[in-house]
């Protein structure tokens, strides 16, 4: 089946048409009551310290974070309960250090409000943005309920992660696929998924502009102290190395994204890339940020701008891990002039580009939730394999594609589970001996 653009009102000027367009598209195009929704997906975070334990339980109960092998899967909730109890006191202290809760929901709401205004101003489109969080309120299921109550006609699904990973966008899309499978009404909803957008020129330019502002803020004295050199360290969220080996495109997209942004920085700036927030005894993407910072200090780096490349809004891993822990580590190792590039938050250029992205998504061939899950190797595992492959043939009947998909899924099941068994074992050891670990993977 050839995907078509979502039929939209005339003033939205859909640019994609083909012979498979619905016969009644003209009726939809002329309706003044046509309702467009934008579902913005994120991981979420506790708004108050009282929410921390519940948030951690939801995080650890997700098999995309800790994936136990089949015989041990009934222990998932028990393990999540024990870990959340054990870790919540330390996490509460971390949240207290940044004001008592995560600001991620506030920023997401602000982003949604501004995107609505930009769509109305630029395209005369009255759209409504919905927030669907993975691990705390408002949950994705809550957002879908509201979307159904509002009788939205067309939905753009927009994960707030520029780069795709099975553990972020993939986990949220899996939830959506499960909800769509349960509801005939949801399945009939016209929708399209934007599963990655790290290479959009607008996004790249916004990031480069923010970094250049920080680079320009170094004083002549500071530049002289650093022998005339300025450095930029992109700190991306890490994932287990086995995820990449199993086909997760995250690292490739991070590297390409950093390269595109770096091309818009001054030629004399030295660029570095590292990964943060690893946990457990298994190997994660290298080099680790907490290894790179001491090495930069040893190399005589004085002027450093740290960029949280995976995140579009401030949260615990920017405000506490980077701003407090990593800054202290850098200064201890001689990096005297530390600057941190802010997350995009409500940057005007970023909001404008997100509005453009929504319009682009409505104008281009649509991608269903199932198609997005299949092509990114993150469809729900409870579905019979032959049914999954049957759905995937909507994108093409090639037996080679089916074989490749089967191979990737098998690799993810084997490598991903082995990796997460290591994490689970480490967590169990933490519960038994009381020793603290690094912060668990997750945007809290």
pTM: 0.81
Contacts of residue 159, defined as CB under 8 A and 6 or more positions apart, other chains included, come to 40, 41, 42, 168, 169, 172, 173, 194, 195
For 353-359, what is the mean pLDDT?
Answer: 98
pLDDT at 280: 66
Contact 112, 118 (CB under 8 A): no
Question: Which of these ranges, 58-72, 137-151, 287-301, 400-414, has the smallest mean pLDDT?
Answer: 400-414
Instruction: State the Cα angle at 67 between 62 and 70, rounded to 5°.
Output: 115
pLDDT at 75: 85
pLDDT at 393 over 50: no
Contacts of residue 434, defined as CB under 8 A and 6 or more positions apart, other chains included, come to none
Question: Which of these ranges, 55-64, 75-84, 125-134, 423-432, has the smallest mean pLDDT?
Answer: 423-432
For 155-161, what is the mean pLDDT?
Answer: 98
Cα gap 349→213, rounded to integer Å: 14
Cα gap 164→147, rounded to integer Å: 24
pLDDT at 132 over 90: yes
Contact 311, 237 (CB under 8 A): yes
Cα gap 398→173, rounded to integer Å: 24
pLDDT at 13: 44
The DSSP secondary-structure symbol of 364 reads S
Identify the three-state secondary structure at position 275: strand
Share above pLDDT 90 across residues of the chain, in percent, rounded to a whole number: 69
Q: How far is CA 193 from CA 130, 226, 362, 373, in A?
A: 14, 45, 10, 10
pLDDT at 79 over 50: yes
pLDDT at 23: 35
pLDDT at 63: 81
**Could you read off the pLDDT of 21-60 as tens digits, one per residue?**
333 444 444 445 789 999 999 999 999 999 999 999 998 8
Q: Determine the length of the chain.
A: 444
What mean pLDDT is reported for the chain? 83
Cα gap 189→256, rounded to integer Å: 34
pLDDT at 9: 61
Q: Which structure tokens are listed for 423?
A: 């994490």
Q: Which structure tokens are listed for 238?
A: 């890490």
- pLDDT band, residue 418 (cuts 50/70/90): very low
Identify the three-state secondary structure at position 29: helix
pLDDT at 33: 78
Domains of the chain, with CATH numbers? 205-340 (3.40.50.1400)
Contact 163, 151 (CB under 8 A): no
Smallest Cα–Cα separation from 29: which of 9, 13, 6?
A: 9
Answer with the residue of higher pLDDT: 401 or 138: 138
């Amino acid at each position: 089946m050839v995907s078509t653009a979502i039929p939209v009102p005339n003033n939205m000027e859909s640019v994609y048409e083909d012979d498979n367009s619905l016969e009644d598209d003209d009726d939809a195009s002329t309706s003044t009551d046509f309702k467009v929704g934008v579902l913005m997906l994120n991981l979420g975070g506790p708004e108050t310290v009282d929410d921390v334990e519940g948030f951690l339980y939801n995080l650890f109960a997700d098999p995309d974070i800790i994936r136990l092998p089949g015989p041990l899967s009934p222990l998932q909730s028990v393990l999540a309960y024990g870990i959340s109890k054990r870790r919540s006191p330390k996490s509460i202290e971390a949240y207290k250090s940044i004001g008592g809760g995560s600001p991620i929901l506030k920023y997401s709401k602000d982003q949604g409000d501004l995107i609505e205004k930009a769509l109305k101003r630029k395209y005369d489109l009255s759209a409504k943005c919905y927030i669907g969080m993975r691990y705390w309120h408002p949950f994705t299921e809550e957002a879908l309920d509201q979307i159904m109550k509002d009788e939205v006609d067309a939905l753009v699904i927009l994960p707030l992660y520029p780069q795709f990973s099975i553990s972020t966008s993939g986990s949220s899309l899996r939830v959506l696929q499960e909800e769509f499978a349960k509801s005939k009404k949801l399945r009939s909803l016209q929708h399209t998924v934007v599963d990655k957008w790290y290479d959009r020129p607008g996004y790249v330019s916004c990031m480069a502009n923010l970094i250049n502002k920080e680079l320009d803020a170094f004083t002549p004295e500071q530049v002289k102290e650093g022998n005339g050199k300025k450095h930029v360290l992109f700190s991306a969220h890490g994932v287990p190395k086995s995820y990449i080996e199993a086909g997760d495109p995250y690292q490739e997209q991070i590297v390409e994204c950093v390269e595109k942004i770096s091309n818009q920085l001054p030629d004399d700036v030295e660029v570095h890339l590292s990964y943060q927030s690893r946990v457990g005894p298994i190997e994660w993407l290298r080099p680790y940020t907490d290894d790179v910072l001491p090495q930069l200090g040893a190399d005589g780096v004085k002027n450093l701008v740290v960029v949280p490349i995976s995140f579009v809004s401030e949260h615990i891993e920017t405000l506490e891990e980077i701003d407090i822990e990593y800054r202290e580590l850098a200064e201890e190792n001689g990096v005297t002039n530390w600057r941190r590039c802010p997350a995009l938050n409500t940057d005007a250029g970023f909001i404008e580009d997100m509005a453009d992205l929504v319009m682009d998504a409505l104008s281009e061939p649509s991608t269903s939730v199932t198609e997005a899950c299949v092509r990114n190797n993150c469809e729900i595992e409870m579905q019979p394999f032959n049914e999954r492959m049957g759905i995937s043939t909507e994108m093409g009947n090639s037996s080679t594609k089916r074989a490749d998909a089967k191979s990737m899924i098998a690799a993810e099941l084997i490598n991903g589970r082995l990796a997460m068994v290591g994490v689970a074992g480490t967590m169990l050891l933490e519960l038994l001996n009381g020793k603290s670990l690094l912060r668990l993977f997750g945007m809290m």
